[in-house]
Structure 1
Amino acid sequence: METPAPTRALSQFVLKLHSRCDLACDHCYVYEHADTSWKARVRATPDEVVERVAARIAEHAAAHRLPGVQVVFHGGEPLLAGPARMRRAAAALRGALDGVCALELGIQTNALLLDERFCDVFDEFGISVGVSLDGGRAENDRHRRFADGRGSYDRVVASIGLLREPRYRHLFGGLLCTIDVENDPLAVYEALMALEPPRIDFLLPHATHDVPPPRPGGARAPYAQWLLAVHERWTAEGRPVPVRVFDSVRRMLRGGSSLVESIGTDPVDLVVIETDGSFEQADSLKTAFDGAPATGMDVFAHSLDEVAAHPGIEARRQGKEGLCDECRRCPVVDVCGGGLYAHRYRTGSGFANPSAYCGDLMELILGIREAEETERENPVSTASGQQPQHPLTEDQIDQLAAGYGDAATVAALAAEQLVITRGLLTAVWERAPRDGRTAAVWRVLAEVDEAAPQALDEVLAHPYARTWARHCLETGGDGGADVAGLAEFAAAAVVRAAGRYEATVRVPVHDGAVRLPGLGRVLVGAPDGEDAEVAATADGFSVSAAGGTVRIDVHGPGDARWHPVRRVGPAGWSVALEDTDRYRDAHQWPSVPRQDEAEVKAWHEDLVAAWDFLGRELPRYAPGLAAGLGTVTPLVPPGDGSDVSGAARQAFGAVGIARPASPDTLALLVAHEFQHVKLGAVLDLADLYDPQDTRLFHAPWRPDPRPLEGLLQGTYAHVAVAEYWRAQARRDVPGAAAPFARWTRETAEAVDRLAGSGSLTPLGRRFADGMARTVAPWLSELKGV
């Protein structure tokens, strides 16, 4: 009997808190399209539904070892639920997911009822607020009106003013604008920009082939032309804020992933929970036909695994394979992805059609691609004369500048690191000897990338992939320094792509073993320099060398010759305990050899306890850690009993640590070193200081003067050190008050030294200001200490 494929996890949830709305927008997909299920819904979500939702999500996240989930409060209009109900919902979710995984909370609202009571709840639980607004007064009030015909613009803008106040600015998630092509695109853009949003989303009005989108005057692609007009202005101004549809197209043109559901081939992992506890598919399906989003399941009787296996959910997760033949043949399918699933609907053929916006999507993608090509030929082409903005949003920059970074922020850094590693892999190939063997390996890598790109991404996300690539490029100018490592990465990708791609890869033996980066090593007993052949099998993989064949069943009993990378830690944050990779010695101190099971068990127990500490005492660090730190490399402990740890600029996602005496200290070392990891990734994207400044600066915690980057790195890391000791002092841990005082004062002193260097870029000054704002309240706590 064929074993069923494991259920793919869901990680994004839209929780309806109220099923009615205080506006009567004529373009609303909930109340103005084919689906009428809202009429039978309970108005406000009962607490027992919310509590059951929280339990279901926690159960699902734990079972699938998810690093984080996102929950967005929605409606109708969610603010109609009131601040008390909103707070209870947020508390229920936080409580259920505490210690399980990171939780990112958001709300999408028309903001009519937004006031300080709501903002205080949002601040308490870190809820990001997205506001729906379609432009200036004239543009917005064409559609977003009260039932009596009054416009909503003035009240919404007043509410946005509250979000723009310094005390609530960090809650402002951005503006969502539904396009009306009869509105002037530049007038809309300017009106939105005047409100200083951290992000803008443009939404195509929901439509199908049965009810096509308006095209005034019979224009061929008016929505593309509207968006391209905005794109041209946005680019000319230096991309002052992220615009997710533009950023998504640009990322995918570079081989990255989409930031929005409406384009791209990434599987959609979103489910909606209605006010009565019913599970539904995406709300956009309400525009297709009455009952289209229904699953027939609810939170009381069904698990999220059952929801994930629903045919409708599965259909939206098939990527390119789920598209019609016409879409699969399209030259821009890898970017377009067929458009939003709901927009493909036609009576008689269901969703097996191109998007109702097919022509617009094609023209938009080609227009942005042409603009990108022009920009590469003339990189300084903006009105400000500055290079285009890096891919982080304004909010993400502010999070990182303050010393933190939520799951989405760190995931954005990881995505850019993967782009860098892919480029380094190509650079190694370009310098490699042009022989048949290397060509065969490169062909496998290219074919895996075509057949199972996620498998190759998983291999290249291994922290020491970049360490290896840099070693090749720096020590072997002609690519001769361990260029055979290409074969190791190709073999690991083939193993990960089992069932989607088949090939046999010849891999050189090193130290009597075959290395599979990120997976482990196989002892083959063959001399170094000889080849082994690696091939995927139905249950695992095989490695054949002169000494025989080792067959590894990943689901069966272990083979002593197979040294897999073992995972340790809690369900919400399991990490690879890397003691097999020959490029892991990148953390200043030497790494340990293969750990025995007793030591692995000790690491597991300590990491579980450390994660509990981080989530409880340093909650602003935990989501980013869960999203970005996937590898811990054990280091040799020093003979004097001191604690040692390290981070490597060329090994994003890994830290090296000699296991300390207590889990609390382990939490400190993890938080400290991951600060270096994050800041290194930022420095790969943008300059924070003038690299021509060769002066040395005194860091309060070191006797030797440091270059400016060293001072910056040390200061950023010590923000976390100071906060750790602050947490310990607040717990009345004996002896914690003195290090809290010391590290806080020394970190503040270092921030002042950075700010006064005169060599920080505008972005660097933003980081210095962010760290100063973080530390300032702690200094106030030290009076009398």
Structure 2
Amino acid sequence: MVTPFRQFVLKLHSRCDLACNHCYVYEHADQSWRSRPKVISAQIVGRVAARIAEHVRRHDVDGIDVVLHGGEPLLAGHERLDEVARELRGALDGECRLDLHIQTNGILLDERYCDLFAEHGIQVGVSLDGDRAANDRHRLYASGRSSYDQVIRAVELLRKRPEIYAGLLCTIDVANEPIRVYEALRELQPPRTDFLLPYATWDNPPERPSTTAYADWLIAMFERWNADGRPMSVRLFESIIRTARGEASLSEAVGLEPSTMIVIDTDGSYELVDSLKVAYDGAPATGYDVHQHALDEVAVHPGVLARQGGLESLSATCRECPIVTSCGGGLYTHRFRAGSFDNPSVYCADLFKLISHIRDETEMPAHKLPYATLDSLATGFGGAADIERLADAQLSLRRALIAALRPRAADGVWELFTRLDRHHREALEAVLAHPYVRVWAVECLGGEGEATYLANIAAAALIRAGQDVTLQVAVEGGAVHLPTVGTLHGVEGDMATLVARAGDIGIHSGHAAPEWLPVRTVSCGDFSLVLEDADPHRDCHQWPAADRLDGSALSAWQRSFEAAWCLIEKEYPQYAQGLRGGLTTLTPLAPAPAGRDVSSTARHAFGAVAAALPGDPATLALLLIHEYQHVKLGAVFDLFDLFDKNDTRLYHAPWRTDARPLEGLFQGTYAHIGVTDFWRTRRNAVRGAARVKAQEEFARWCAHTLAATGTLADSKALTPLGERFVARMRQTVAAWQAGEEAPWS
């Protein structure tokens, strides 16, 4: 399938009024500009607009960016720029969202241009390398005269027109002092700044006073930017931060996202990225043009596909690198050496040092997930160490949610959290790890819950730490709930004074003596779970929660869980360690009509599986395996973007009659790897009719799950990390369908 283009660089003028000695257009190997028309014609603009509109309609593209470029695009003149904008708007408004940008040196910018850009919604970026000394190293007129004053005048015009001021573009020269460059740019208050590594290849490497000179320069700037509270957006730094978290990059300079950009020159010819001009003469050429070729033809050009291959298209050195998901091999141009792009970046050492530094400075350790862990989880399994890493990240997330509620804490309550964190962190984290604490926190931050419950969390942690407590706590539904500890029933009002001394827990006088009911558990050997039938925030599942269990129901749950866990440890050890590492809570659900088996997880309740008590332990084992798959994948989704969250399409799920959003299909597919494996193993553990049923169930779920992985892969909405994840899911199920063990079993 064709990956549609979403960014178009349209050359309006092939000449420039400056003579910058680092310019990739005029100062490097490719000199094709000499044979191009100086100004793009109205006829070619019309063909460009028609080609883009055709492409957008064919692929149902929801939004595109068109960057008006050069040379120097302002040399095209006011009238031509107005014609270009009108032509593009006329062809594309109503077809998709059209974002127009222009990148200029600013020399010719005037009020008339600003009015024109405001009228057409064109965002303006200006090239500037820092203060006067830094800028005058390279950005000069042919006569050697400085351009600095004219550029600053242009930026001041834009500062008065913030609706069109997009930001500044700075090419790095390590001879310039980084903090002076940073301060000069910051003073101009750009909405966004980007820093470009000089365009270079292994055949023509950059000037460098040391092996990591560019990393050191950027790290100094990053440190200052970070210490200043990030006063402006810096695309390179933010792209590294985003990719470290599994999110999409904002730049082609880093990240594994497929390139969706094409360049259209003043004669209507399609070209690959402009920076390729530094590699060799003719490097950007495709041989296609807007007169004879649709964009779909260009989209399958080998030069385009080479920038869309993700991890598999990188050199062996890059594929084995621990930071490859952030680096992505660096800019494609920077990999060129002796006729091949199958190399690391010429800035490899700089990128490694810079990305490693930014990761260490901006990521909490619990949020770092090694590639090996993500790959292990992608198979459908995940061992104890993998789940521990997910649980650590979830705990960190819960701590952040609690911290966000600090301004709403009652007097003295936040001081308790601080004290607990300093002296009784284990007790505090045990309470924060309870699944429904996060459910409450998310609701509270969304305006639906009461922040007074913070006191109940603090009280529960103090009691677990063996501390005496006298504290005003929240009452919900006539009860005071202390997560992971228990519940006082029969309490009046909205608030009550909790008193806990030497293990005795009650309410201050003035209330009728409430009934204390400690938290319940089910267990098998050394493994136990909270049987959560009291938490007021547990009713967040697809099915209603059961009321508090009576003695006979509690005994039935204990018997069923004990038998189910024995079955899992004996027949499904590949899941047992993962379940031990992250499953903490079993929440009883009300029985469903007609006695059907029902189970559920909640997106924000990591560690909890909810189910109505099934008729036999084997079914409970299946439900635990199935639902815990959802728990694991939800935690992965908290850390990484595996798919485009803006994708609103619905997809066929073989096990449902209704179409599902992409996240729902992803979740269902991953969960059914566990279901498929349950029946794959079960068919060899039972006999007679039960074995026939197990074989039929295995064949059905295997086919459904394999088909669903294909739908995910074909959606073209997966990130590069998502593609890698789904590929391993598919390999697992495909091996089972072929009667083989998965390659990582």
Indicate conservation of the 8 Å contact 2:601/2:631, yes or no: no
Q: 1:79 to 1:515 in 2, by over 3 A?
A: closer
How much has 1:329 moved relative to structure 2? Answer: 1.5
Q: Deviations over 1:573-619 (max 9, x none)?
A: x9x9xxxxxxxxxxxxxxxxxxxxxxxxxxxxxxxxxxxxxxxxxxx
How much has 1:86 moved relative to structure 2? Answer: 0.8
Q: What SS does the corresponding residue of 2:218 show, helix, strand or coil? A: helix
Q: 1:550 to 1:112 in 2, by over 3 A?
A: same
Query: 2: distance between equivalents of 1:553 and 1:315?
Result: 33
Residue 167 (structure 2) pairs with residue 174 (structure 1): yes
* Aligned counterpart for 1:107 among listed residues 96, 102, 109: 102
Residue 181 (structure 2) pairs with residue 188 (structure 1): yes
Alignment partner, residue 141 of structure 1: 136
Q: Deviations over 1:187-242 (max 9, x none)?
A: 000000010111110000100111100013xx111000000000000011111111
Query: 2: distance between equivalents of 1:14 and 1:549?
Result: 49
Query: 1: distance between equivalents of 2:576 and 2:105?
Result: 54
Query: 1: distance between equivalents of 2:605 and 2:107?
Result: 57
Q: What SS does the corresponding residue of 2:605 show, helix, strand or coil? A: helix
Q: 1:195 to 1:136 in 2, by over 3 A?
A: same
Query: 2: distance between equivalents of 1:150 and 1:212?
Result: 28
How much has 1:353 moved relative to structure 2? Answer: 1.1
* Aligned counterpart for 2:218 among listed residues 227, 243, 252: 227
Indicate conservation of the 8 Å contact 1:472/1:480, yes or no: no
* Aligned counterpart for 2:317 among listed residues 312, 320, 326: 326
Alignment partner, residue 208 of structure 1: 201
Spell out the pairing of 1:50-89 with structure 2 (5 A cutoff). Answer: 50-89=45-84
Q: What SS does the corresponding residue of 1:291 show, helix, strand or coil? A: coil
Q: 1:473 to 1:195 in 2, by over 3 A?
A: same
Alignment partner, residue 240 of structure 2: 249
Spell out the pairing of 1:492-511 with structure 2 (5 A cutoff). Answer: none
Residue 464 (structure 2) pairs with residue 473 (structure 1): no
- The code of the aligned residue for 1:371 comes to E
Q: What SS does the corresponding residue of 2:342 show, helix, strand or coil? A: coil
How much has 1:489 moved relative to structure 2? Answer: 9.7
Alignment partner, residue 525 of structure 1: none
Indicate conservation of the 8 Å contact 2:608/2:631, yes or no: no
Residue 9 (structure 2) pairs with residue 14 (structure 1): yes
How much has 1:84 moved relative to structure 2? Answer: 1.3
How much has 1:531 moved relative to structure 2? Answer: 6.0
Indicate conservation of the 8 Å contact 1:491/1:516, yes or no: no
Q: What SS does the corresponding residue of 1:271 show, helix, strand or coil? A: strand
Q: Deviations over 1:324-353 (max 9, x none)?
A: 1111122211111111111111124x1111
Spell out the pairing of 1:579-658 with structure 2 (5 A cutoff). Answer: none
- The code of the aligned residue for 1:198 comes to P
Unaligned runs of 5+ in 1: 1-5, 378-385, 391-419, 425-429, 445-467, 498-507, 522-529, 536-542, 557-563, 566-573, 577-785
* Aligned counterpart for 1:28 among listed residues 23, 27, 42: 23
- The code of the aligned residue for 2:174 comes to V
Q: What SS does the corresponding residue of 1:279 show, helix, strand or coil? A: strand
- The code of the aligned residue for 1:250 comes to I
Q: 1:473 to 1:32 in 2, by over 3 A?
A: same
How much has 1:279 moved relative to structure 2? Answer: 0.2
Unaligned runs of 5+ in 2: 368-399, 405-437, 443-528, 532-560, 580-599, 613-622, 637-641, 643-652, 666-673, 680-693, 718-745
Query: 1: distance between equivalents of 2:702 and 2:348?
Result: 48
Alignment partner, residue 48 of structure 1: 43
Total equivalences in the alignment: 451
Q: What SS does the corresponding residue of 1:347 show, helix, strand or coil? A: coil
Indicate conservation of the 8 Å contact 1:67/1:101, yes or no: yes
Alignment partner, residue 728 of structure 2: none
Q: What SS does the corresponding residue of 2:67 show, helix, strand or coil? A: strand
Q: 1:479 to 1:177 in 2, by over 3 A?
A: farther
Query: 2: distance between equivalents of 1:298 and 1:13?
Result: 14
Indicate conservation of the 8 Å contact 2:676/2:698, yes or no: no
Alignment partner, residue 364 of structure 1: 354
Query: 1: distance between equivalents of 2:222 and 2:675?
Result: 52
Query: RMSD of aligned C-alpha atoms?
Result: 4.2
* Aligned counterpart for 2:272 among listed residues 255, 278, 281: 281
Query: 2: distance between equivalents of 1:552 and 1:266?
Result: 30
Residue 242 (structure 2) pairs with residue 269 (structure 1): no
- The code of the aligned residue for 2:85 comes to A
TM-score (norm 1): 0.52
Query: 2: distance between equivalents of 1:226 and 1:339?
Result: 17
- The code of the aligned residue for 1:473 comes to A
Indicate conservation of the 8 Å contact 2:172/2:197, yes or no: yes
Q: 1:316 to 1:141 in 2, by over 3 A?
A: same
Q: What SS does the corresponding residue of 1:355 show, helix, strand or coil? A: coil
Q: What SS does the corresponding residue of 2:125 show, helix, strand or coil? A: strand
Q: What SS does the corresponding residue of 2:108 show, helix, strand or coil? A: coil
Query: 2: distance between equivalents of 1:201 and 1:255?
Result: 21
Query: 1: distance between equivalents of 2:530 and 2:181?
Result: 49
TM-score (norm 2): 0.55
Query: 1: distance between equivalents of 2:344 and 2:307?
Result: 14
Alignment partner, residue 290 of structure 1: 281
Q: 1:292 to 1:356 in 2, by over 3 A?
A: same
Q: Could you tell me the percent identity over the aligned residues?
A: 50
Query: 2: distance between equivalents of 1:442 and 1:45?
Result: 65
The higher radius of gyration belongs to 2
Indicate conservation of the 8 Å contact 2:601/2:608, yes or no: no
Query: 2: distance between equivalents of 1:272 and 1:203?
Result: 19
Q: What SS does the corresponding residue of 1:169 show, helix, strand or coil? A: coil
Alignment partner, residue 580 of structure 1: none
How much has 1:518 moved relative to structure 2? Answer: 4.0
Q: 1:148 to 1:321 in 2, by over 3 A?
A: same
How much has 1:374 moved relative to structure 2? Answer: 7.5
Query: 1: distance between equivalents of 2:179 and 2:365?
Result: 21
* Aligned counterpart for 1:339 among listed residues 324, 330, 338: 330
Q: 1:198 to 1:518 in 2, by over 3 A?
A: closer
Q: What SS does the corresponding residue of 1:170 show, helix, strand or coil? A: coil
* Aligned counterpart for 1:236 among listed residues 227, 240, 259: 227
Query: 1: distance between equivalents of 2:152 and 2:293?
Result: 41
Query: 1: distance between equivalents of 2:661 and 2:190?
Result: 42
Query: 2: distance between equivalents of 1:9 and 1:544?
Result: 42
Q: What SS does the corresponding residue of 2:22 show, helix, strand or coil? A: coil
Q: Give the ranges of 4+ consecutive aligned residues of structure 1 lying more than 3 Å apart after TM superposition.
A: 373-377, 430-444, 468-472, 476-493, 512-521, 530-535, 543-554
